[in-house]
Amino acid sequence: MKKFYITTAIDYANGSPHLGHAYEKVLADVVARFKRLQGLDVWFLTGLDEHGMKVQQSAQKKGIAPQQFVDEIAVEFQDLLKSLNISNDDYIRTTEERHKTVVQNLLQKLFDQGDIYKDHYRGYYSIRAEQFVLEKEMVDGQWPEIYGEVVEITEPNYFFRLGKYQDWLIDHIKTHEGYIYPQFRANQVLEFLKEPINDLCLSRPKERLSWGIPLPFDDDYVTYVWFDAVTNYLSAVAPGTLENETYWPADRHVIGKDILVPPHSVYWPIMLKAAGIKPPGGFLVHGFWTTSGRKMSKSEGETVDPLDLIAEFGPDAFRYYVTREMNVGQDSDFTLEKFMTRYNSDLANDLGNLVSRLLNMTQRYCGGVVPAVQVSEEPEKELWASWDSVHQEIVGLYDGFRLHTALERTFQFVSSVNRYAETRAPWKLAKSDSPEDRQRLETALAAMAESLRLAATVLLPVMPGIGEKIFELLGSPAVSIWKGHLKWGESLQGKTLGKAAILFPKTRK
């Protein structure tokens, strides 16, 4: 079976989860679920980035040990995953032994072969960003705000020879189509690589930063956070070793645009290349929610955190909204108004009503049992054609990460099913005594049931809970693999439908 290994960034454990964290998990989960439905052997990893200055400082401020601090934060992040119905197979925390061992083995190997060396570093250091920064990054004599306080320091440190592998990296990016999605991000990386890259300072003296993984060849130092963090992708699937494992390399690292250049696109592939380990299969780089950290205003003076909407409207509504609104790769705005419009119009009116209409009418006119398709007239032909166009595109859209378009097409189909119901108007046909009208009525209900089956099937990656619920109401188990189930005509004839249900209650609680 073909494998597919997908990861998310591991979140910084120095604060509570926010919309950006939630979105990235949903995005990776949609891809993971889609790949499973494609029949791939999927391994889905996410986790927490627990070392570094900020964590050390936050713990100090709270007067607790860093480990206790991150243990508490880990609970919050793991609760978020549960609340969003994320199907990750593993959760890695960088304070785990299995991770530390791999980081240390990797460092030792690179040190032994001469790719890590000791030198003096003199430069400007941003305490907030935990990195050395360059003078040329100053704007009008000021450091960019993201760096916070910047101090000048000189200290002996360890360096990783990045420059040695620069040409290899450029060639690798140029010769691997689709390696970085979207393509314009790959161009940004190549742009960055036009200048010679500096070697990476990968250590911090323990006296300044004690909360990190000690260098195996010099106990006075810990490793710098990025070297530690990116290695999680390897340590989770190859515990204790650097051997390639079943799932290696990762097929997609899902990350935000802020951490592509240089950590993921430069440090990480070069670290692997230098160690003789296969480089990543590819990156999926998403944009930013521009309102993520802030609270959205609900009405005068009242505010709502986007994450509160998960509990209020359910994980599927939240997953639907973020996937439908965000064109992967671009930035997007999260507003309560837009959320409510999508919820009310797409979910409650279009999808929810279709379900309750079908259940009600089948109960009333056919004793709750799906009848057979018996006629094929203009309205049926239009409906089948409408599915056909979705069918032809849908796999390509999911595969190409055009998830918002996949949902757009699916909901166009849902609308066309509602239009079909209006055109056929079974409630009018029910009043007729003609046997042809009875056949039309039964056909209409059978066609609506079949349409819902198809819509639920293609919605499973984004709305697994609702998808399964619809299958249950259709009297069938949800499909675990798409193959063979995307074609119109897998009759539900004879299935007993569930009792009328409201999938999306319309008013706010």
Contact positions vs ligand MSP (CB under 6 A): 9-12, 20-21, 23-24, 49, 229-230, 232, 255-256, 258-259, 288-289, 292
Query: Which of residues 155 and 308 has its CB atom nearest to ligand MSP in the complex?
Result: 308
Half-sphere exposure of 325 (CA within 13 A, CB side): 25
Q: Which two tokens stand for residue 129?
A: 């960003």
Residue 292 Cβ, how far from ligand MSP at the closest point, in Å? 3
Residue in the shown chain whose Cβ atom is closest to ligand MSP: 256
What is the maximum span of the chain, computed from C-alpha positions, in angstroms? 94
Residues belonging to the chain = 509
The CA-atom distances, in angstroms, between 117 and each of 111, 122, 188, 418 are: 7, 16, 29, 67
Residue 313: other Cβ atoms inside 10 A: 20
Report the C-alpha gap between 394 and 114 in whole angstroms. Answer: 49
Nearer to ligand MSP, 250 or 452 (CB): 250
> To the nearest whole angstrom, how small is the minimum distance from the Cβ of residue 317 to ligand MSP?
19
Smallest distance from the beta carbon of 397 to ligand MSP, in angstroms?
Answer: 21
DSSP annotation of 147 reads G
Provide the minimum distance between the beta carbon of 506 and ligand MSP in the complex, in angstroms, as a whole number: 29
| Nearest residue (CB) to ligand MSP, 9 versus 80 | 9
Closest CB to ligand MSP among residues 214, 263: 263
- Residue 404 or 453: which CB sits closer to ligand MSP? 404
Q: Which is nearer to ligand MSP, 237 or 479 (CB)?
A: 237
The b-or-e profile of 53-79 (16+ CB within 10 A means b, else e) is: bbbbbbbeeeeeebeebbeebbeebbe
Is the CB of 167 or the CB of 333 nearer to ligand MSP? 333
**Nearest-approach distance from CB 480 to ligand MSP, in angstroms:** 29
By 3-state DSSP, what share of the chain in percent is helix, strand and coil, each rounded to 5?
Answer: 50, 15, 35
Place of tokens 């290349």: 273
Closest distance to ligand MSP from the beta carbon of 17 (Å): 8
- The least distance separating ligand MSP from the CB of residue 468, rounded to whole angstroms, comes to 28
Contact 119, 161 (CB under 8 A): no
Work out how close the CB of 233 gets to ligand MSP at its nearest, in angstroms, rounded to a whole number.
Answer: 7
Q: Where are the alpha helices (DSSP H) in 403-462?
A: 403-424, 426-429, 435-459
| 328 or 449: CB nearest ligand MSP | 328
CA 453 – CA 467 distance, rounded (Å)? 9
Where do runs of H (alpha helix) occur along 282-402?
A: 308-313, 315-325, 336-341, 353-366, 378-399
